[in-house]
Structure 1
Amino acid sequence: MRIALIRHPAPLIAPGICYGRLDVGVDPSAEQQIGGLAADPRLHGATRVWTSPARRCRGLAEAVALALSVPLTVDPRLQELDFGEWEGRPWDTIARADLDRWAASPLHFRSPGGESGVQLIDRVGDVQAELSRHRQDCVIVSHGGPLRVLAALLLGKPVDLLAAAPPMGSVSIVTRSVA
């Protein structure tokens, strides 16, 4: 099973703003990436494209599905971590003590009204289980958090929520043998 993981291009939002679930589009300066990503030869052979419903992912996923002539599945389990009341706020206005608590316990900390790292891992784990049942080559278009989790789960590695996310507009390939 070969899975192409694509992180959305740069979003249309000011630097320094928290935007996990905030539904923002792609920055116009990054829109030209969409055609190049959709035409990436590493995507050939995929039988389905899965995407987060966020605009910054969905437009790219639609272009990839069209280029490959395969079905598109919009799946809310591929959304970014929900930062709750932090969404849309500048990071520098969030209490340092709260950010420190999150860094000290990324699995269990929840911003007010948001979700924990465990919840993110659980919902992305459900996607991974479904992909394993289907056993088909596919493309996943999502966000840094879910892609970092999905890659680790597919490779049988521990999930590190503090590891660097893949670069925006990048493609990485994960190959997993199936019995």
Structure 2
Amino acid sequence: MVALLRHPAVRIAPGICYGRTDVPLADGWRQSIPALAASLATIAAQHIWSSPSSRCATLADALGSRLTLPVTCDEHLTELDFGAWEGRAWDALPRHDLDLWAMDPFAFRPPGGERGADLIARVSGFAAQLRIAAQPCIVVSHGGPLRVLPELLCDTPPSLLATPPLVGSLRIVTARRG
């Protein structure tokens, strides 16, 4: 079993694109740790994997301390790189570019950013490692990687158009072995 956890809310204005931008967690995030740790204890995880972004690594470290589990940051779990869109309001981005992205999220690349295909390739390698290890673990990451990771763990085609998990949400997936 793999527990997929999206980082809690961050300290940034609503409606801002912040993929790779390292933004801190919003105040009050620690209040959720006891209940979250209690839920996660039920899967008997052996390890916590985290995006190196502080909004994920901070949470992973707090859970690791609480559950006495090792934490490893892995670049494969970073959020999609939105390039020149980083730090800009979604409403201020060119409508034409957003339409192109919606038509082909696999091939579209924001200016200076990363394609959806790049995200899938990056997360696929990580998912393959988890499937081979076949050990219960916790993964703390972002909406982009967590949008495709459940399908990759189950060996089904991922969709970049799937709804990303909510901020702070937890999902347990039974990974297919191999």
For normalisation by structure 1, the TM-score amounts to 0.93
- Measure, in 2, the Cα distance between the counterparts of 1:5 and 1:27: 20
Q: Which moved more, 1:21-30 or 1:80-89?
A: 21-30
Query: Which residue pairs with 2:87 in the alignment?
Result: 88
1:16 is displaced (CA, Å) by 0.8
Say if 2:147 is the partner of 1:148: yes
- Measure, in 1, the Cα distance between the counterparts of 2:160 and 2:22: 22
Seq. identity, % = 51
Query: Is the Cα–Cα contact under 8 Å of residues 38 and 63 in structure 1 kept in the other structure?
Result: no
Write the letter of the residue equivalent to 1:16.
G
Query: Which residue pairs with 1:123 in the alignment?
Result: 122
Query: Is the Cα–Cα contact under 8 Å of residues 3 and 140 in structure 1 kept in the other structure?
Result: yes
Q: Which moved more, 1:29-38 or 1:139-148?
A: 29-38
Query: Which residue pairs with 1:40 in the alignment?
Result: 39
Poorly superposed stretches of 4+, deviation over 3 Å: 41-44
> What pairs with 1:151-170 in structure 2 (closer than 5 Å)?
151-170=150-169
Q: Secondary structure at the match of 1:139?
A: strand
- Measure, in 2, the Cα distance between the counterparts of 1:44 and 1:174: 11
Query: Is the Cα–Cα contact under 8 Å of residues 9 and 33 in structure 1 kept in the other structure?
Result: no
Write the letter of the residue equivalent to 2:15.
G
1:112 is displaced (CA, Å) by 0.8
Say if 2:17 is the partner of 1:18: yes
- Deviation readout 1:86-128 (Å, 9 max, x if unpaired): 0000111111000100011100000011000000000000101
For normalisation by structure 2, the TM-score amounts to 0.94
Question: Structure 2: where are the runs of 5+ without partners?
Answer: none
Write the letter of the residue equivalent to 1:71.
P
Q: How many residues align?
A: 178
Write the letter of the residue equivalent to 2:177.
V
Question: Structure 1: where are the runs of 5+ without partners?
Answer: none
Write the letter of the residue equivalent to 2:170.
V
Query: Is the Cα–Cα contact under 8 Å of residues 35 and 63 in structure 1 kept in the other structure?
Result: no
1:43 is displaced (CA, Å) by 4.9
Q: Do the aligned partners of residues 177 and 149 (structure 1) sit closer, same or farther apart at CA in structure 2, a change above 3 Å counting?
A: closer
- Measure, in 2, the Cα distance between the counterparts of 1:155 and 1:35: 29
Query: Which residue pairs with 2:68 in the alignment?
Result: 69
- Measure, in 1, the Cα distance between the counterparts of 2:30 and 2:9: 9
- Measure, in 1, the Cα distance between the counterparts of 2:106 and 2:123: 14
Structural RMSD (CA): 1.5
